[in-house]
A and B are shown apart, each in its own frame.
Chain A
């Protein structure tokens, strides 16, 4: 199989890679670029653990081909913190203990970031709907919702 040459932007940096035509963007991020934040839960778009933002749209990177990222903007969980300074969502997930095993957390953080970018002051119901594409088998979701609410308050004040 001939490789596909791709030029894209990931977390603000220009990135070039070669990938196979049937390789998912999730596999490219993890296996070729060492960005292992996005996780493979189901590989079929059901669990949201591989969530990324592609040109301002929240998507499952397991349902995107690596080749499709050509000329587009990719945001992953690795781009959320600035050095040692955590994103308010990351800080609040820690404070509220909104994670246990942590596999779903990068997906939740990215989905919550997308949600708050489009709706800075969501109701609890809007948060639950907005994060319904992300599955967590540990927390029972309540702590995640609280963490997102708290982060929204902090970000509004910022």
Chain B
């Protein structure tokens, strides 16, 4: 096994693209090292991306925010500007693991680990976040929901690295929220979850909506019908009921010891309603 800490994204891409055996990208390591310890992966090459310039920064740009692939989730919680613009994304990222894990884990890692129950992913999908991908053929920007293709699998090709997550600048009267169900109070894996992102008009009518449900299918679901249920409406009881019904209906969950299919379906609807109510209030809706 080799451990290499390249200083540029081009070098990192070159190392990954040119590796003959298994190569792994190391950012926070909170998934990779556990998998190595358990014998599930034995990389021939580890590429530590933390020394690459800019990857450990959150940058506020003219278009919004660029969150580097090596930024630990704890740092997201310390960025007042990011918290103000995207409170739902930050609260989702802050739910991952303990304080010790927060000091290491990253949202790009959470995305690329491709767990259907990843906490930050429904919030990022709802936020319309993009992944900036660097690869042998150059750079491309893709919606985050196209990254995971199934449990543990991503659409990234050999040699590709997600360099940063991009979040748009917020229009006025916008808000987002993320909620998950776990059987204890903290530090657990989502049984089911929901992320919601809204923009309202001056009358409090929903103009833009994105709703995502987590841990309810092999990948996080962007529920377009749920967004349609909200757009053009204020949050009356009938709208929220319709939203819950659509979200429950979109679920294709597994049945396991952590939750039955029936339970996950029902709770997906409940969480979508509650997250919508919070996002609405954050957007200034009454």
CB within 8 Å of B: which of A46-81?
48, 51, 54, 57-60, 62-65, 67-68, 70
Given contacts A21-B2, A45-B101, contact A57 B187 (CB under 8 A): no
Given contacts A21-B1, A21-B2, A57-B72, contact A132 B98 (CB under 8 A): yes
B37, CB-defined interface residue at 8 Å: yes
Determine whether the beta carbon of A68 is less than 8 Å from that of B98. no
- Chain B residues positioned under 8 Å from A57 (CB to CB): 72, 74, 103-104
- Chain B residues positioned under 8 Å from A35 (CB to CB): none
Per the bound structure, the CA–CA distance linking A65 and B37 in Å amounts to: 12
**Number of inter-chain CB pairs below 8 Å:** 84
Closest to B72 in A: A57
A44, CB-defined interface residue at 8 Å: yes
Given contacts A111-B99, A133-B99, contact A24 B33 (CB under 8 A): yes
Closest to A110 in B: B100
Per the bound structure, the CA–CA distance linking A21 and B44 in Å amounts to: 10
Determine whether the beta carbon of A68 is less than 8 Å from that of B50. yes
Given contacts A65-B26, A129-B186, contact A60 B100 (CB under 8 A): yes
B36, CB-defined interface residue at 8 Å: yes
Minimal beta-carbon separation of B115 from chain A (angstroms)? 15
Q: Is the interface of A mostly helix, strand, loop or mixed?
A: mixed
Determine whether the beta carbon of A4 is less than 8 Å from that of B3. yes
Given contacts A21-B1, A133-B101, contact A63 B29 (CB under 8 A): yes
Per the bound structure, the CA–CA distance linking A149 and B24 in Å amounts to: 43
Minimal beta-carbon separation of A42 from chain B (angstroms)? 9
Per the bound structure, the CA–CA distance linking A43 and B26 in Å amounts to: 17
Determine whether the beta carbon of A132 is less than 8 Å from that of B99. yes
Minimal beta-carbon separation of A129 from chain B (angstroms)? 7
- Chain B residues positioned under 8 Å from A111 (CB to CB): 99-100
Per the bound structure, the CA–CA distance linking A141 and B103 in Å amounts to: 23
CB 8 Å contact bits of B46-72 with A (1 = contact, 0 = none): 101010000000000000000000001
- Chain B residues positioned under 8 Å from A45 (CB to CB): 30, 33-34, 97-98, 100-101
Minimal beta-carbon separation of B206 from chain A (angstroms)? 34
Minimal beta-carbon separation of A150 from chain B (angstroms)? 21
Per the bound structure, the CA–CA distance linking A51 and B98 in Å amounts to: 11
- Chain B residues positioned under 8 Å from A132 (CB to CB): 98-99, 186-187
Determine whether the beta carbon of B48 is less than 8 Å from that of A48. no
CB within 8 Å of A: which of B8-29?
26, 28-29
- Chain A residues positioned under 8 Å from B258 (CB to CB): none
- Chain B residues positioned under 8 Å from A24 (CB to CB): 33
Determine whether the beta carbon of A51 is less than 8 Å from that of B37. no
Determine whether the beta carbon of A59 is less than 8 Å from that of B104. yes
Closest 6 CB pairs of A and B: A133-B98, A21-B3, A57-B103, A133-B100, A60-B100, A59-B103
Q: Known pairs A45-B33, A48-B100, A65-B26; list 14 more (Cβ under 8 Å).
A: A1-B1, A21-B3, A44-B37, A45-B30, A45-B34, A45-B97, A54-B103, A57-B74, A58-B103, A59-B100, A60-B101, A60-B104, A65-B33, A111-B100
30 CB < 8 A contacts A-B:
A4-B3, A20-B1, A21-B1, A21-B2, A22-B1, A22-B36, A44-B37, A45-B100, A45-B101, A48-B98, A54-B103, A57-B74, A57-B103, A57-B104, A58-B100, A60-B101, A62-B37, A63-B28, A63-B30, A63-B33, A64-B33, A64-B104, A68-B48, A111-B99, A114-B99, A129-B186, A130-B99, A132-B187, A133-B97, A133-B187
